[in-house]
Structure 1
Amino acid sequence: SVENAEGSESAPKLRYGDQLRLACNDSLLVDPAMPDMLTAPLFLASSFKSEQWGSRIGYKQVVYMTADAGKRNKEAVWTVKKVDLDSDDWGAERYLGLGDPVEAGDTVVLVHQLTGQALHCDQRNVDSTEFGPECEVTAFTATSAAKRSMLENEFNGTCQPETTALAELPPNVWRFQLGSTRAAAHDNRTLPPRMCPQDVVNKLVLLSEGDNENGPLSVVALQKFIGFPFKQGDPKGCNMERADLFWTLKQFYGGQILPDPQINCLINFLDPDLDMNVELVVLFEVLRKGVATGALQKPPTGVGAERTREALWPSADSRGKISGWDTEQKYMPPGL
């Protein structure tokens, strides 16, 4: 499937010049060990070629699937460009067609946003995989010796009359293929829902509500397991590193109740800026309220986080520290 990359203009149709991400088929995300939802989606990505990092057969830029497709990871972002090998003026049409919708069956070139290399597949490079012999897919712009007019300087407003560029060869040309009939385009597969932070949080909220307030899977039990609220002057403060929180949740809930992909999905939601720390106050606030009351929103960062801490912890000493007693009164139920 095709998804608009974060930062590009959101539109119901894919248009030439848009940044996109290419996700694998949902059928490949079914995990028998996690029947309640699909695993994390995999996106087509690539990275710079080096002496130690190259494709196995043609030694070109490697193309692979990755689940790390956050807003800071540009390795999974591609740009679709128009190409018509049967036309002599396709170079000019490429710039004139920016913003036009991409129709099914159009010949396009997919350019990697980070490295500028086009998606490449050469029938001469055959690799042996678990599914049998397959043509190796890499990122490499194969060009001819002839140049085409690209009209780039005309759009930039420079004085040069025209700009010529090398034309891509057929190994760089692709098509977005859809169902040939309405029945073929209809997806009637019975698959689990896609994994999202809202579903993971709702799952944990139901586990906590299904147990009593002091049960082994309640929020109070998780607070005691982590040791939150921390004591006065604890150097860790009220944050926890991503790796520590991952293993803590894995040990608390168990791998069968909360598999690793769901833990990573929750941590990525709580740490959208990837600063490698998660605010425990936000974690417990989310686990207590869930999404039923509309409390699950994007975690606050920067100035918003300071305002949240001020609202949740109104009592602080002269040094601006929050005492464990104040935090305990806020988060621990009476009588505990």
Structure 2
Amino acid sequence: AKNPKVVAVTAAMEYGTGLAEFARLFPKRFFDVGIAEQHGVVFAAGLAKEGYRPVVAIYSTFMQRGYDHLIHDVCMQKFPVVFAMDRAGLVGEDGPTHHGIFDIAFARSIPNIIIMAPSDEDQLADMLATALTIDGPTAIRYPRSCGLGISLKKEPEVLPVGKGVMLREGHDFLIIAIGSMVSPAVEASRLLATEGIAAGVLDARFVKPLDKELILQMASSAGRVLVVEEGILAGGFGSAILELFSEEGLENVRTSRMGIADCFSEHGTRDALLADFGLTSENIAENARSMLANRSGAILRRFSSIRH
């Protein structure tokens, strides 16, 4: 509201993305391009070129339609467009076509873009404030949910770009989580603590760039790492962590990943689908115990309850 150059763009998703109130208060700063996601991305690029700060509110699954324009018209030009990627992860009742599980994999390979994933509603506000200070493309991915119900700060905080944060310390094990998986990771750490296992939890906050210094330091110290994400495993956040470990020669760090297996999910509630894919606090704790017991290190699990 304070910056008249900040405008909102959406593709026939005024209500779905929560922009109805913004559209009512600032009708001249709200643009609905209709069911034309590709045009929305190009339109935002044009606005950015003219000095505006467009925020494109779009479902993760529909961002795929504008992928070519994201590369050529925004990222290649280094335009300061913010992509608010709603419905990232498993969306539940919207159905199989609406699961936003591919965005990390297809976006992190693009040069010039910064990718963030908030762990709660307060951090989402911080990340939007941060994105609006960056002179280049940014993306914020967040799930379809009501948030965690935490208290919000009066004013959002601008975060240091590419910096994660340790939420729980632990010398036995390290859980690196991103976005919606941070809360269950913290709960898993608490469960493990009751068994005498000290599991640290690192909220990466940024998919790109990674907080290499913090991740490498904590991973080297723990020796065992479990990476948890609500996205496709192939090319996802866990892949980025494995690439980092390979580049830095951390062959001695035993690493496993949890996320969406190589399949399409069916219709179901979000909680049911998370349970199907083994993305609950209990599953995280179970896999941590398995790694500590020196069982199979590669936890890429496709649950039998998911039909193809």
Which category describes the TM-score, using the shorter chain as reference length? under 0.3
- Larger radius of gyration, structure 1 or 2? 1
More helix by share: 2
Using structure 1 for the length normalisation, give the TM-score.
0.21
- Greater RCO (CA < 8 Å, at least 6 residues apart): 2
Using structure 2 for the length normalisation, give the TM-score.
0.23
